[in-house]
Structure 1
Amino acid sequence: MTTTATRPGAPARASAPRARPALAAPLTVVAAASALVLSVLAATTLGPADVSAVNVRDVLLNHLGLADVPVRVSDDAIVWSERLPRALVAACTGAGLGVCGAVLQSLLRNPLADPFVLGVSSGASTGAVVVGVLGLGAGLGLSAGAFAGALLAFGLVVLLARLTGGYGDRVVLAGVASTQLFSALTSFTVFAFADSDETRGIVFWLLGSLEGVRWDDVARCAAVVAAGTLYCLARARTLDAFAFGDDVAASLGVHVARTRTLLLVVTALVTAVLVSVVGAVGFVGLVLPHAARFLVGPLHARLLPATALTGAVFLVWVDALSRVAFAPTPLPVGVGTALVGVPVFMVLMFRRRGAS
């Protein structure tokens, strides 16, 4: 929060966050949207099997009913059944985690907050391991188990935060406690009950994997991310008010406790669905909101769309490059995001220390 200069002895007056020039933000969003479309199409051509841009175009035209162009069965399967769903799920995951990170950083007034500060990732990991290793609810699959575990972890975080006096930094501390608890439960379950094959598959999923995603995963992720983003975007002015602190937000007519709870629930649900599909993909929600603020400023009406688009482009390319650089076995996407996110996280920590 910034303050304007006042005469000596007068109380400091909060000033609104500085906005970018009027045309800068819309142009950035349009450029990011164009980059996203091109990135998804380009990523669909990349991989161990050679598929040209013309092949991708023909497959898309055929499935959209706009043409009837003869294509090889193998090309159709690679593009429509494997790479395109994978790129779209990557885009949805990057967008959703980025938006959740931007919202949490505003709600908690902590630039180091991201979706996994709620312990959702660890809870999802435990749920998936319980289903996969112990066979509890095996008919539901790993994704359903991960979703249930994520909601359980979030419920624990909310309970701990309320019992210890509220939100703010207490949510961060509760998230740390929840993360450690569910990480320990996951490790214990794998150590005590899993065989070597199960352990290998679970560990790969926990690192963040887009292997095997299908169109039903695309539909699920897209619906949840779109609904969550629109809800948060409708609360853009409220999120701007939180930048001044709870007292100022309340004076502006915001029901602080109820609004914060609802937004925390929305971010937890979006994160839980995404983690249940792709596993733990960290640091997207930490890094991308800061990049978007640099481009369009802090006002959430601009920040949230920009964060969603840049996050989507970022994760599409992380996944595409991991397929190319480490073929035939792609690097888990969570490892790629961590390699980028950890250095940025360290820089943010030092900047925060210098500002304090």
Structure 2
Amino acid sequence: MTAVATEIARAPAHGRAGRLAALVLLLGAAAVTGVALGSSSMTLDRLLPALVGQGAETDRLIVWGLRAPRVLLSALAGMALALAGLLLQRATRNPLAAPTVLGISDGAALGAVGFLFLFSDSANSLTVSIYWQPVAAAVGAAVFAVLVAVLARGAGGGPVGLVLHGFALGALAKAGVTLLMIVGPVYRASQASIWLAGSVHEARWSDVVVLASLMALILPVLLILTARMDQLLVDDSSAEASGLPVRRTQALLIALAVVLTASAVSFVGAIGFVGLVAPHAARLLVGTRALPAIAASALVGAAMVVLADIVVRLAFAPLEVPTGAATALIGAPYFLFILFRTGRAHA
């Protein structure tokens, strides 16, 4: 048996389909709950007719005009961030790698707010289409991803060193976002704070369509790359011996992670730690093989953001608290645990 096959064989194949089915049910239940609950909670006898376009007009407006796009945007953003984290962890072989941890989310946020700053007029209106914003976010994310990689490689640091450079550059990006919000004019400046912590309370169907379209383009590419991702489970020498162009594959996975991060951040802001926690949870549930890991990571990430939005929506009503605050409560302690364990392993 080859080294790659040996590593893949460690994945818990038994019960994998059942665990994925359970994740689908969890996400479905979370989505229904997210549509039903809010300032005006709806019972099933009101919710079900509204979902199929019947029932009271007010119920249909609440479901399809307000809550459905919010839930769908939460799920899509969670999927994108979780998959970005999976790709980064696989490409760098670093369990600490994630868009937030490496400063990529904050770089994307800086690109998005920089776009609003550059293309807003004195009346705080955009002078170009808002749909150029994902491009600006992608540029910001790519710049910070390259900077983190170059600085970490130059310093010769291991996984912990990579994280420290990511945090430093992420703090720099946050400072840039704050500065641009202050000096303005920025289009919808009063709402621009979502790029600091992440929020879905202004979700629109147009946002859902754009993000869903981007995900539909990226997911087939990920499925094509599953064999290469499995080969990356082993060291460079073994992977190259199996015919894998390691450096090109790693660069491609990181580029896809940048695009996924930028796509999510453009519409919901820098929701933290989803890209760290979701791939780890997926690995515990379905193992390391790429195809089930992609499915499980996407489902866990989507459920995390949908549930986090429900929590902040109900716990702090009528205030709109950023969804990223809830994900940070889960992700930050877990990150510290992984950081401590990784630091001891490389001591």
* TM interval, short-chain normalised: 0.7 to 0.9
- The CA deviation at 1:90 is 0.8
Residue 146 of structure 1, CA deviation? 5.7
Q: Does the 8 Å contact 2:34/2:310 carry over to 1? A: yes
On the 8 A contact 1:96/1:229 being kept in 2, the answer is no
Q: Name 1:77's counterpart in structure 2.
A: 61
Match of 2:96 among 109, 112, 116: 112
| Counterpart position of 2:314 | 324
Deviates more, 1:110-119 or 1:15-24: 15-24
Deviation at 1:156, TM superposition (A): 5.1
Alpha carbons of 1:82 and 1:14: their partners in 2 closer, same or farther (altered >3 Å)? Answer: closer
Amino acid paired to 1:74: T
Matched, 1:182 2:170: no
Equivalent residue, structure 2, for 1:276: 266
1:57 to 48, 53, 56: 48
CA distance, structure 1, for counterparts of residue 149 and residue 329 of structure 2:
31
CA positional deviation for 1:21: 4.5
* 1:158 match: 146
Distance 1:51 1:160, change over 3 A: closer
CA drift of 1:178 comes to: 4.2
The 5-angstrom pairing of residues 168-317 of structure 1 reads 175-176=166-167, 178-193=169-184, 200-317=190-307
Specify whether residues 21 and 134 from structure 1 end up closer, same or farther in structure 2 by C-alpha distance, changes over 3 A only: closer
Counterpart of 1:50, as a letter, is S
Q: Which has the higher contact order (CA 8 A, sep 6+)?
A: 2
Say which SS state the counterpart of residue 121 (structure 1) adopts.
helix
Whether 2:44 is the aligned partner of 1:44: answer no
**What SS does structure 1 have at the residue aligned with 2:10?**
coil
TM-score using structure 2 length: 0.86
User: What CA distance in whole angstroms lies between the structure 2 residues aligned with 1:167 and 1:299?
Assistant: 28
Aligned equivalent of 2:20, options 13, 17, 29: 29
User: What is the CA–CA distance in structure 2 between the aligned matches of 1:349 and 1:343, rounded to whole Å?
Assistant: 10
Distance 1:161 1:354 in 2: 23
Counterparts of 1:160 and 1:29, CA distance in 2: 34
Task: Work out whether 1:351 is the aligned partner of 2:341.
Answer: yes
Deviation at 1:13, TM superposition (A): 11
Which residue, out of 6, 10, 14, partners 1:19? 10
Q: Is the contact made by 1:292 and 1:310 (CA closer than 8 Å) also made in structure 2? A: yes
Number of equivalent positions: 338
Identity score, percent:
36
Structure-2 residue corresponding to 1:335: 325
Instruction: Describe the SS at the equivalent of 1:139.
Output: coil
The answer for the alignment partner of 1:7 in structure 2 is none
Contact persistence 1:130–1:136 (CA under 8 A): no
Alpha-carbon deviation of 1:167?
12
CA drift of 1:180 comes to 4.0
* Counterpart check, 1:92 vs 2:83: no
CA distance in 2, matches of 1:296, 1:349: 23
Q: Which amino acid counterpart does residue 106 of structure 2 have in structure 1?
A: S
* Residues 227, 174 of structure 1: alpha-carbon distance in 2 compared, 3 angstrom cutoff: farther
Gaps (5+ residues) in structure 1?
5-11, 63-68
Q: CA RMSD in A?
A: 3.1
CA 1:20–1:124 in structure 2 vs 1: closer, same or farther (change >3 Å)?
A: closer
Please give the alpha-carbon distance, in whole angstroms, between the structure 1 residues aligned to 2:343 and 2:148.
27
The 1:131/1:51 distance shift into structure 2, 3 A limit, reads same
3-state SS of the aligned residue for 1:352? helix
Moved over 6 A (4+): 165-168
Query: Would the alpha carbon gap of residues 204 and 102 (structure 1) be closer, same or farther in structure 2, given more than 3 Å must change?
Result: closer
Aligned residues of 1:157 and 1:178 also touching (Cα < 8 A):
no
Point out the more displaced range, 201-210 or 339-348: 201-210
